[in-house]
Structure 1
């Protein structure tokens, strides 16, 4: 009998996670079919997409309101299909606003549900734990501390590690990455990652570029590498770069690499770098797995801060740290310059220290290597086994 797995992923990071789980599922079971909402990586892994991933991808509250009718149509369609022909199990990959609502409907109708990537209740809106308990049959979490959190709340949970820890080499090869970018082995290289969203580039790129201008004054030989996820983001960044020119800066996409490869262009930039100036988000974890000293920054407009405070009922996160490396290490291992501290002067000063303090770089390398080991598991196999156990009623 074929095991049918419903699955929804709503962003590129979820598409990558889900594709690896789908591969693990097919390795664990030869008679299996995955269907729902997904992206190109899931399609390549043998997924039947009823709707493309970008149907759910929104950037901020304004975009969500504009696209609400389409989101509701997509939600209604997949819910109708799965209520009419229930899958063996439903797996929601991240996208908690969409998936937890769908999981609740399906579970109440008798379909077991798995949620992969725990919402950051440890930082914002812990009260969501009650909705999770009602909607989710089994949680799959990426970080070790999350397992204790959900177990304490009586929610079945499996720590599966973070797939980035498997994908990123334990020993980065800086020279090889520089060859792919056509860089001199002896150059001092700063990777600048101002975010993958249009709003992040608009707000953070001017601050980051002004900081880079100051760094170039300190070291005229400094090379700045700015990876861009696609041509649209590069065009947006180039328009800001024209206002704040930085000699020696290279904005790169995958087409600019001198050798072909499957690794994201941001990984090549991180691997080639001596230090990183990065927007808070998944890229901070990637930089840590490449063992690079970094400065984490973010800025929300007053309007966005008011919306977040209204939605969460909080003025600030529960934890004192924002960047994932600091959250995982439970320490300000690397600087976080947020809001009013995210000035070009402060960013330049902290980034110069990251570039030049060799003792700090050595300490960071040791701590990030230990973190890398902690996060390394056979994520695809562990997640697949847990999902199939739920599908077959073994948990």
Structure 2
């Protein structure tokens, strides 16, 4: 095994870039001269990763209309990357999330004798259970971020290791709420609502308008409430335009990035379903989960859904600990009413907030492992096999 192995990686969108960056920390601690290239974002680039394409190229919403519009581009990128990796033959390919892109690429590379690792088990326990066969063909090893996943994969003959969730180590068990508020210019007594409409273009298209309409209703009911939106840089101008269209200029503040600071500072969050909901849970924040997508994407997803929950906090807790308002249920009025319940609970039902914080702290503890080290050790075994 080389003392400085060559590794190829692909991470899609902001959450995958964050996970891959944390993984690179562990790999570089084990192999300081590690060479890594592929598709990645700014978190990976900061660690010396050679980005052949930016991870934003893979950020698509749903799996019907938007994917179909961009299918030729995505297949072209995958074909070019596959041909390059087959020529260069890295020691291992690591696909970070983005299963629709990565699993097919992994299958081709593995068939050609290149070792493959998939980081983040696709949610076969939530929907699209048929994907397990594709995982078996594609990955020599799967790095799992939830504790129940290795046993599930083992039943299908897939080698896997539980490495914990990297975010559980990044986010402190007791967030510095006062420091976050000071950094954002909020007073300790301010009531702060964070709005997170997603990090993908189509999420902003479908989710931001009802979220901002709900914010307008909340503002009418509680004029003193402060609203803040952490926006990914590429979508910030679009989000600011939607804020103006909703008549909320001067009411809703949009900041570049800083989602963790915003979640640490807020009293509650109106948030799009996805990894961000787990981040909100790790920050122990009450939330209302909303989501909306193209009707065809929603119809296809519902047909393959295996659990009654969509949001990760509810899936991991096994019950509706926070409200979910999905598709037609995600009306501005319903989103407003559910959010107001959390804001009012701060004054009238503090025990409700405390119980949620305790539940989320237990979840945090269950996900906290030395992820970078465990993942690097599992990858080392794959390289040595």
Q: Tell me if both proteins adopt one fold, taking TM over 0.5 as the criterion.
A: yes
Q: Kindly indicate whether residue 355 of structure 2 is the aligned counterpart of residue 363 of structure 1.
A: yes
Structure 2 residues without counterparts, runs of 5 or longer: none
Aligned with 1:126: secondary structure? coil
Q: Distance in 2 between matches of 1:247 and 1:78?
A: 43
The offset of 1:74, in angstroms, is 2.4
For 1:233 and 1:85, the matched residues in 2 are separated by 35
Secondary structure in 1 matching 2:148: helix
Cα pair distance change 1:215/1:67, threshold 3 Å: closer
Output one character per residue of 1:311-367: Cα deviation in whole Å (capped at 9) or x when no partner. Answer: xxx525101100000011011000111122212222222111111212211000000
Cα distance, 1:108–1:226 mapped onto 2, change above 3 Å: same
Alpha-carbon distance change, 206 to 67 in structure 1, aligned in 2, over 3 angstroms: closer
Worse-matched range after superposition: 49-58 or 357-366? 49-58
Which residues in structure 2 correspond to 1:1-395 (within 5 Å)? Answer: 1=2, 2-60=4-62, 61-230=64-233, 232-246=234-248, 249-254=251-256, 264-306=257-299, 308-309=300-301, 315=303, 317-357=305-345, 358-393=350-385
C-alpha distance in structure 1 between counterparts of 2:43 and 2:334, whole Å = 39
Further displaced range: 336-345 or 163-172: 336-345
What is the CA-CA distance between 1:248 and the residue it aligns to? 6.2
Using the alignment, how far apart are the partners of 1:54 and 1:191 within structure 2?
24
Q: Structure 1 regions of 5+ residues with no counterpart?
A: 255-263
Between the aligned partners of 2:217 and 2:55, the Cα distance in structure 1 is 40
Distance of 1:220 and 1:51 partners within structure 2: 45
- Tell me the CA shift for residue 148 of structure 1: 2.0
User: Normalised by the size of structure 2, how large is the TM-score?
Assistant: 0.92
Q: In structure 2, what is the Cα distance between the partners aligned to 1:352 and 1:94?
A: 34
* 1:93 Cα deviation after fit: 0.9
**Which deviates more, 81-90 or 124-133?**
81-90
Query: What do the CA deviations read for 1:191-228 (whole angstroms, capped 9, x no partner)?
Result: 11122223222322232223222222332211111221
Task: Compare 351-360 and 70-79 and name the one that shifted more.
Answer: 70-79
> SS at the partner of 2:173?
coil
SS of residue paired to 1:144: coil
Distance 2:326 2:203 in 1: 13
SS of residue in 1 equivalent to 2:253: strand
Query: Structure 1 residues 289-298 or 191-200, which shifts more?
Result: 191-200
What is the rounded CA distance, in whole Å, between the counterparts of 2:84 and 2:205 in structure 1? 40
Q: Measure, in 2, the Cα distance between the counterparts of 1:7 and 1:277.
A: 33
| CA distance in 2 between partners of 1:52 and 1:210 (Å) | 32
* CA distances 1:135-177 after superposition (whole Å, capped 9, x unpaired): 1110001111222211222211011111111111111122211
CA deviation vs aligned residue, 1:56-105 (integer Å, no higher than 9, x gap): 34445444334333333322222223223322211111111221111111
**In structure 2, distance between residues paired with 1:174 and 1:30:** 35
Change (3 A) 1:346 1:63: closer
CA distance in 2, matches of 1:325, 1:336: 10
Structure 2 distance, partners of 1:55, 1:316, is 26
Answer yes or no: is the 8 Å Cα contact 1:224–1:248 preserved in 2: no
Q: 1:56 to 1:348 in 2, by over 3 A?
A: closer
- Alpha-carbon RMSD: 2.0
Do the aligned partners of residues 51 and 345 (structure 1) sit closer, same or farther apart at CA in structure 2, a change above 3 Å counting? closer
* TM-score, length of structure 1 as denominator length: 0.90
Structure 1 residues 30 and 242: alpha-carbon distance in aligned structure 2, compared to 1, 3 A threshold:
closer
Q: In the comparison of the two structures, how many residue pairs are matched?
A: 378
Q: Separation in 1 of the partners of 2:158 and 2:146?
A: 16
Residue 236 of structure 1 deviates from its aligned partner by: 2.0
Equivalents in 2 of 1:380, 1:16: separation in Å?
A: 12
Q: 1:98 to 1:339 in 2, by over 3 A?
A: closer
**In 2 relative to 1, CA 72–211 (structure 1 residues): closer, same or farther, beyond 3 Å?**
closer
